[in-house]
Amino acid sequence: MKKIYITGLAGFIGFHLAAHLKKKGDFVIGLDNFNAYYDSELKHRRVQLLQDLGISCIKGDICDNQLMEKMVVEHGITHVVHLAAQAGVRYSLKHPEAYVHSNLEGFVSVMELCRRHPSVKCIYASSSSVYGLNRKQPFSENDPTDSPANLYGATKKANELIAHSYHHLYGISVTGLRFFTVYGPWGRPDMAYFSFTKNIHDGKPISVYNAGEMHRDFTYIDDVVLGIIAAIDKGYPCEIFNLGNNSPEDVRELIRLIEKALGREALQHNLPMQAGDVHSTFADIEKSREMLGFSPKTSLQQGIAKFVEWYLLEF
């Protein structure tokens, strides 16, 4: 039985991953700081469901080295899945200090924890944002990632470099996972699919940037979780993988599918493209297929239908 410590346990991906691992028979415990980036009530509701499964979530900060050490030692942790981070591109334009604390200082804290416990394998969240202003598509793990479009992407690129340096110096096992627009039930309210659903349901206008002429490789949460679990099970020494759907969709199609699921038409407020945004993301997942057996199964149409069904039950 693996003993897995998840940072960001109360977050969207952490919540789903923990539930899957518990059902798989692993021991799971986690940490979250319950910050106010979005309504923490949703995080507390996720945690309550995890507690019902016998999974504990400790409130704390990943920069608290004593607490991090205690968690690993007391529970005999074999794997750390580091998901805690300050998310969001637009938020980084006005709150850069939050990204320095969580995504840089916090990441080094996790690497130091693994340095002290080199038998512990680390799987960490990176992002499609590392590809930044790259024009070649689909994005491959071998492509250069030295032109970030925003601070969030720059911090995730820094994570990958820091992880590589710790592997080189101390031999710790590190696997980075570049997530591509993960969505689904219990998701983040700040993401477009969630806010679109809420506003269309409530009869309020939605803000559509660049007339919706942007493509995103929307990846359903269950597919992503299976990719993370494969990375845990494989335990490669030092790798980076794309976890995307390999099928980018126009934001206008996202809106159409939400309208169809809700049976309501959106009131659209068109705005120019925002600073830090990119026109398209598209994951090349050949490496993930070959080395992780990763094979996403959920289309955007199926995934949005499941999300809207959940939303109508919960809200």
Catalytic residue selected from 152, 166, 193, 220: 152
The answer to whether 170 is a known catalytic residue is: no
Contact (CB, 8 A) for 53 and 68: no
- 119 by Cβ neighbours in 10 Å (0-12 / 13-18 / 19+) ranks as exposed
Q: Which two tokens stand for residue 113?
A: 């924890």
Number of H helices and E strands in the chain, helices first, is 11, 13
Cα angle 193, 198, 201 (rounded to 5 degrees) comes to 120
> From CA 193, how far away is CA 181, in angstroms rounded?
10
CA 24 to chain centre: 21
- Rg of the chain (C-alpha set): 19
Show which residues are catalytic. Answer: 152
